[in-house]
Amino acid sequence: MNWPSPSRFSFRVFRVWQRNFEIYRQNWKISFLPPLVEPMLYILAFGLGLAVMVGEIPLGERLVPYTTFIAPALVSVAIMYNSFFETTYNSFVRMYYQKTFDALLATPLNLEEIILGEILWAATKSVIAATLMGVVISLFGLFEFPGALLLVPLAVLGGLLFASIGMICTALVPGIEMFNLPIFLGITPMFLFSGTFFPLQNLPGWAQGVAQLLPLTHLVALVRGCALQLWSGWYWLSLLYLAVAVAILLPLAIALMVRRIIH
Amino acid sequence: MNDTGPVTILQANDLRKAYGRIQAVDGLSFAVQKGECFGLLGPNGAGKTTTIQMLYGYTPRDSGELRLFDLDIDRDIRTIKRRIGICQQEDSLDPDLSVRLNLVGYARYFSISRAEAARRADELLKFFALEGRADDNVRILSGGLKRRLMLARALVNRPDLLILDEPTTGLDPQSRQLLWERLAELKEQGLTILLTTHYMEEAARLCDRLVIVDHGHILVEGNPAALVRERVGHSVLEIAEPDDAVRAFLQAEQCKVEDLGKRLLVHLDDGDDLFLRLTREVRAEGCTLRPASLEDLFLKLTGRELRE
């Protein structure tokens, strides 16, 4: 396996992104619905149904209502889902069933550019979803500005990270049904145990340690910190974690895909 | 290179590629000249597709040299890929896009402007009789239409070399005839074509020169009609259900007989004299005389046993 060399990449990466964007645009009315409707459902269910039983959650030096506590987590989860599912199921379908990568390889594009284009597109989907959700949640008055504007760059970073993780899965699974494995071993536990629906402090000590290894934990912490304007020095460490993870996993995803396809 | 001599578009020297212990391509060398249609023939698994995939960097070679337009493929693959059009064996059309957008979108990968892409798409849709379906979704197209669109897409960058990997496999006779007509027309316009096929009729009709490949290496190379004349003969006498009298007659005449049990094939070099005597003197029923074909040559060289 070879680490991708920067000389392999050109502006053509954008052409791959463009292809996916145009197809997304064809169906934008349907694509826009989930990020708009989902947060409303969650806020209704948790805000009306659960919040009254839970009461207020201590966050830094403040006490926040439960709905306020989970709203940033919903955005973080959407960032993870949108990019991860794009580079797993959707990329796999394009690679294996639709032979899209074969078709693109017959043009001046190379495979490294195709994969990077796919990852950038998946991250874009995260940004679109986070933005739409952010707008809806802001209408409920649950985010604070200008801090919440930082969700856009965070969605880029988180999107790149989960897109890379998804692409690594795509490079390794023998068939599309095998995606169940990383989902129930990785994605679902992260959805539940990354400080999303309850504070990590409620977990036993060892589990808190494990949670600190999960990428979603750091994304949730950052998104919550920015959206609620709770500043803390720890956020720099979370940011460093995400940046380093992207710097390692993104080139790794490209290298593994090249190994899978070109032989 | 002088002005009158042939211009080499593609030069392959000693290409090799192994998958595990299987030598898919085993020392393949050939050259394609400007303006000709060159055929790469062989049974399934002969290494045709692997060779084609080497031409656009999909399959790396183990060894050997590959030059297109006098450029080295390892150094100038992008420049090379801008100048070739590839029609792969499997359908790789974009099912999320309409017929027209498949062409326009593909042109973008070659950095062709949108206006120019639209112009070329219209031109190609017309050439392949697809105008009526321009706005249809690709998903609902029949196999023949898809293939025509694949071919149209391979031409969107106005390639100097068109590479076709089994372009008519699985098509009905109508679609096949139409594709052959269009390919012949393109050839007339001066397009250089590299074609793989296992349809002998296709090769005989389109190819100026061809190689027959098996187990990754070349068995024979040349002009199809000349090869048939040299290697098989002028005509083939087929005898169904041969009896002892027939066998005795052929033995006495010292013919080259290929015995298939229930059928005998006799390769004849000239005239129909033997056929006339056989049908007059021994028996007429079940005896047919037909011109020797590329298929005779192909089977003679690659054997009759089933592949795969």
User: Across the interface, which of B92, B105, B153 has its CB nearest the CB of A19?
Assistant: B105
User: Across the interface, which of B60, B86, B97 has its CB nearest the CB of A106?
Assistant: B86
Instruction: Show the tokens assigned to B214.
Output: 């098996």
pLDDT digits (tens, 9 = 90+) for B178-193: 999 999 999 999 999 9
CA atoms within 13 A on the CB side of A87: 38
Q: Which amino acid is at A236?
A: W
Which of the four pLDDT bands, split at 50, 70 and 90, describes residue B307? low
User: For testing the chain B interface, which of A10, A107, A257 should be mutated: the one with the most B CBs within 10 Å?
Assistant: A107
Q: What is the pLDDT of residue B4?
A: 63
User: Across the interface, which of A22, A99, A105 has its CB nearest the CB of B91?
Assistant: A99
pLDDT at B3 over 60: no
Nearest to A133 by CA among A48, A32, A216: A32
Assess whether B77 and B132 both reside in one domain.
Answer: yes
Tell me whether residue B3 is in a domain. Answer: no
Mean pLDDT of A89-97: 96
Assess whether B199 and B253 both reside in one domain.
Answer: no
Mean pLDDT of B260-267: 86
With CB atoms and an 8 Å threshold, state whether A103 touches B88.
yes
Q: CA angle at residue B51 from B48 to B53, to 5 degrees?
A: 110
Assess whether B104 and B203 both reside in one domain.
Answer: yes
Tell me whether residue B94 is in a domain. Answer: yes
pLDDT at B308 over 70: no
With CB atoms and an 8 Å threshold, state whether A99 touches B94.
no
| Rounded Cα distance, B240 and B252, in Å | 19
With CB atoms and an 8 Å threshold, state whether A26 touches B111.
no
Among B223, B242, B275, residue at a domain's last position = B223
pLDDT at A80 over 60: yes
Tell me whether residue B27 is in a domain. Answer: yes
Judging contacts by C-beta atoms under 8 Å, the chain A residues touching residue B86 are: 106
Domain enclosing residue B146, as ranges: 8-223
Assess whether B276 and B200 both reside in one domain.
Answer: no
- The C-alpha of B130 sits at a distance from chain A's nearest C-alpha, in angstroms, of 20
Assess whether B203 and B80 both reside in one domain.
Answer: yes
User: For testing the chain A interface, which of B96, B151, B164, B194 should be mutated: the one with the most A CBs within 10 Å?
Assistant: B96
Chain length of chain B: 308
Assess whether B239 and B146 both reside in one domain.
Answer: no
With CB atoms and an 8 Å threshold, state whether A15 touches B108.
yes
pLDDT at B2 over 70: no
pLDDT at B272 over 80: no
A30 touches chain B (CB under 8 A): no
Question: Computed over its alpha carbons, how large is the radius of gyration of chain A?
Answer: 19
pLDDT digits (tens, 9 = 90+) for A123-149: 999 999 999 999 999 999 999 999 999
Query: How confident is the prediction for chain A on average, in pLDDT?
Result: 94
pLDDT digits (tens, 9 = 90+) for A175-201: 999 999 999 999 999 999 999 999 999
Q: Residue B208: how many CB atoms within 10 A of its CB? A: 15
> Which residue carries 């990568």 as its tokens?
A101
> Which CATH number covers residue B153?
3.40.50.300
What are the domain boundaries of chain A? 29-193+201-261
With CB atoms and an 8 Å threshold, state whether B90 touches A99.
yes
Peptide bond into A146 cis (omega under 30): yes
* Cβ neighbours for B126, distance < 8 A, ≥ 6 positions apart: none
Judging contacts by C-beta atoms under 8 Å, the chain A residues touching residue B101 are: 22
With CB atoms and an 8 Å threshold, state whether B94 touches A102.
no
Q: What's the pTM value of the predicted model, to 2 decimals?
A: 0.92
pLDDT digits (tens, 9 = 90+) for B73-127: 999 999 999 999 999 999 999 999 999 999 999 999 999 999 999 999 999 999 9
Q: In B, what residues contact A, Cβ < 8 A?
A: 56-60, 77-78, 81-82, 84, 86, 88, 90-97, 101, 105-106, 108-111, 153-154, 157
User: Across the interface, which of A15, A102, A262 has its CB nearest the CB of B92?
Assistant: A102
pLDDT at B1 over 50: no
Q: What is the pLDDT of residue B167?
A: 92
Strand partners, B213: B218
Instruction: Show the tokens assigned to A169.
Output: 């899965």
3-state SS class at B265: strand
With CB atoms and an 8 Å threshold, state whether A105 touches B94.
no
Q: What is the pLDDT of residue B211?
A: 95
* Cβ neighbours for A122, distance < 8 A, ≥ 6 positions apart: A82, A83, A84, A86, A87, A91, A159, A162, A163, A166, A167
Assess whether B215 and B240 both reside in one domain.
Answer: no
Q: Residue B83: how many CB atoms within 10 A of its CB? A: 18
User: Across the interface, which of A100, A105, A263 has its CB nearest the CB of B57?
Assistant: A105
- The C-alpha of A82 sits at a distance from chain B's nearest C-alpha, in angstroms, of 19
Q: Where are the beta strands (DSSP E) in B5-62?
A: 8-19, 22-33, 37-41
With CB atoms and an 8 Å threshold, state whether A102 touches B88.
yes
pLDDT digits (tens, 9 = 90+) for A202-246: 999 999 999 999 999 999 999 999 999 998 888 999 999 999 999
| Rounded Cα distance, A48 and B81, in Å | 60
User: Across the interface, which of A98, A104, A106 has its CB nearest the CB of B95?
Assistant: A98
Tell me whether residue B97 is in a domain. Answer: yes
> Which CATH number covers residue B278?
3.30.70
The percentage of residues in chain B with a pLDDT greater than 90, rounded to a whole number, is: 63
A2 touches chain B (CB under 8 A): no
A7 touches chain B (CB under 8 A): no
